[in-house]
Structure 1
């Protein structure tokens, strides 16, 4: 019993030391942080939060004169720079890089937060090839393009890269194949990047929000999704129209409206995780963050159980309840 007690004490002490180490933060003062996708949602609110913490935030928005960019300019401190950026454009990313070089100087870039994303909904037979390509360009190749461009600045101060994927980069549902494919790719890219960057002291973290669609505009833009369904119907082949029928897309829109209400609207848990990934002395590799407005987030529950349950059972749950 004496030896068992000693082992328990040692384990407890090691656990306590590790918790204190994980809880430590680096000073935000003088740190430059570049965030993509600040027009709305996570990126918009993270830019404000890190600005309040004392970071030098470079907030990039797709729409230079959009509501998001205008609001950030209005409420931010003099430390924040709001830039126009299209992560799908080599030219736009190159211009952003040159601007950031002038801003950060020899300090380098402490963190790059790849947050920009898009989420078209639809069945595979209704998606066009352009839907798949554009989703990949924003969610996956945009992440790659930004990372490759800004790595030299990040290497200067042994900073970190924070890639925002999704729980839907871990589990699949119906009606969302283009988004899933891009987010699974983001997961794979981030894992390879983390292993390669370890030799340079650069830390790579993945943010995996659960069901927050109703609070970010991903699902909350109901009218935008309706227009997308109407466009898909117009572009669909006669065979697809006959097989599915117009009512199918109407039912999809009704279900989408209901699903948006189930998404958590309080973004605080995700912002906490993103801030930790940027400023923690020892950030986690992954932040799977439960959302939903019920007792649990079924998406995150499935993500944790997926390796241990039969595919047939997983498919049934995903098909019937997601």
Structure 2
């Protein structure tokens, strides 16, 4: 009887020791090697729990992959581990690691597409983005848009300016797909909110006009008035005569100095030589520019000129406009 009691006590003691050791191990920082740098962990879709444990060890974490795989299985959450890009810190314990993998708390990078950027600037930003896989680098514009499901469509202005998060090794095409869908949503919201009687025939024309408003606006409060000027001109068949469209048509040859000869050099985007809207947007408009395009201010103005402080002066007549040009541009 005494022998049986001793055996029970020994087993209980051994169990307590094992439980204590397990608890200590689960809460103990794994460590990330000399100097303790953060480690990057990439888990591909379909990786088994044991494969995840091995990937953690191969990434440099000071932990037994066998023990880690045992912990994943014992927790009952081994089938809930998510693929993705993660960061393992020197202070992270096996328990914290499991929580991060189950929640899918990825280590993300970001890329910001800025309002008013043209397509060339977007491609440059994608090429410079940290840890973003350049799937589009060998594609021309037509091939790229076909891959995005928009064959025959120009990429200019089609991507919504915003900050997008992505995991290490994500495709730049996937980021563009998200930005494309975001612009689709904002463009449709603007189209649905349009005033009646506007001289715009489609959501695409909204996007084109919004891109011009975006490039012409120095102060946000002026957007509805700038929109009104363009709508008033479109209604009476007056050319838009807006410098940003001319500059866009010049492309990379533009040196930053707009000359009179540029205004008379015809391109599809020169709104001094051609009536109506240009064939494509000239930049990425933001939400405010999109809404201004469909909700112009109530104004009879046909002209505006920059005042030098970011705002514009609006005029209903050419005489008034010329006086404003002399005042604000020529200092007379």
User: What TM-score do you get using the length of structure 1 for normalisation?
Assistant: 0.24
Structure showing greater Rg? 2
